[in-house]
Amino acid sequence: MTTNKTFLGVPVARPKVAFFELSSCEGCQLQLLNNEATLLDFLSLVEVVRFREGMKEASDDYEIAFVEGSITRRDEEERLRVIREQAKVVVALGSCACFGGVNQLKNRFNDLEWVKKEVYGSFPIETQKVKPLSAVIKVDLEIYGCPIKKEEVERIVTALVLGEQIHHPQYPVCMECKARENICLFDLGEPCLGPVTRAGCDAWCPSNRLGCWGCRGPAPEANLSQLQIIMAERGISQERMIDRLECFGGFAAFVAEVKEKKGEPK
């Protein structure tokens, strides 16, 4: 299908787009398929040449690569390098690709051999320390979230196609949470990472009375020292705070810093 789309009289190219998955649940890709109301518009905007969750065909002729998942094996690194060579634009799709995601929880254990044995027993399997895409290749664009917010992806893809600048919110989740007039989770005695986590999710979890787990990583100016005070004042243990900060990997640098201060191994 080729269409000669124009915007304000100017022809707009319909880029070839491929979706890839490394270690992940492929839930972010499913999110895109989930949006039936706008799926056809999305497909008219880009030409999808590879999308395991939605089609049988698979082509290696693409301009934009959306890569979901983190790197846990050597072959994934190689696959990613090939994708990088082919694609003009590599997009890290979701928290796993951006920060390692839930997969990187195993990085907290020093002895990965022990982890392997504990999880897989004697089953032979290769698994290494989890890395985000940016640890292996240059990533052009990151789309945060576990899962990603489909409306946000659509907005970003439209901007990509039109050649517009892509802006991520610079503020934390609180800004969006307040706009939805939610009750602050801290008032309910629940921990929440909203004050330090990058917005853009429209306060998805807090609006459903679940404290933020920081899946979108830190806001550009996350006041983490104040977060520690906020948690401590409310009797929320440091262990519980660290547990939450560790979940998606976006706060890895800060967690390492706190653990070092406590004298714990990283």
Q: Which residues bind other proteins (CB under 8 A)?
A: 5-9, 12, 38, 41-42, 44-45, 154-155, 157-158, 162, 170-172, 174-175, 178-179, 181, 183-184, 186-189, 194-196, 219-221, 223, 225-227, 229-230
Question: Which tokens is 19 given?
Answer: 């979706």
How far is the C-alpha of 248 from the C-alpha of 102, rounded, in Å?
5
Report the residue number, 48 or 80, with the smaller CB distance to other proteins. Answer: 48
| Smallest distance, other proteins to C-beta of residue 1, A | 14
Report the residue number, 33 or 183, with the smaller CB distance to other proteins. Answer: 183
How far is the C-alpha of 200 from the C-alpha of 169, rounded, in Å?
6
| Smallest distance, other proteins to C-beta of residue 150, A | 11
Strands of the chain, DSSP E: 5-7, 10-12, 16-21, 47-50, 64-68, 89-93, 141-143
Report the residue number, 130 or 219, with the smaller CB distance to other proteins. Answer: 219
| Smallest distance, other proteins to C-beta of residue 80, A | 28
How far is the C-alpha of 87 from the C-alpha of 41, rounded, in Å?
23
Question: Which tokens is 79 given?
Answer: 């696959």
How far is the C-alpha of 15 from the C-alpha of 8, rounded, in Å?
18
108: which DSSP letter?
G
Q: Is 190 exposed, middle or buried (0-12, 13-18, 19+ CB in 10 A)?
A: middle
- Bridge partners (DSSP) of residue 91 are 66, 141
Report the residue number, 45 or 65, with the smaller CB distance to other proteins. Answer: 45
Report the residue number, 37 or 138, with the smaller CB distance to other proteins. Answer: 37
Report the residue number, 18 or 185, with the smaller CB distance to other proteins. Answer: 185
User: Taking phi first (over 0 means left), then psi (-120 to 50 degrees means alpha), and beta for anything else, what does residue 214 get?
Assistant: left
Strand 5-7 relative to strand 10-12, pairing: antiparallel
| Smallest distance, other proteins to C-beta of residue 180, A | 8
| Smallest distance, other proteins to C-beta of residue 34, A | 15
| Smallest distance, other proteins to C-beta of residue 233, A | 9
Upper half-sphere CA count for residue 89 (Cβ side, 13 Å): 17
| Smallest distance, other proteins to C-beta of residue 169, A | 9
Report the residue number, 82 or 188, with the smaller CB distance to other proteins. Answer: 188
Q: What sign does the CA torsion over 175, 176, 181, 186 have?
A: negative
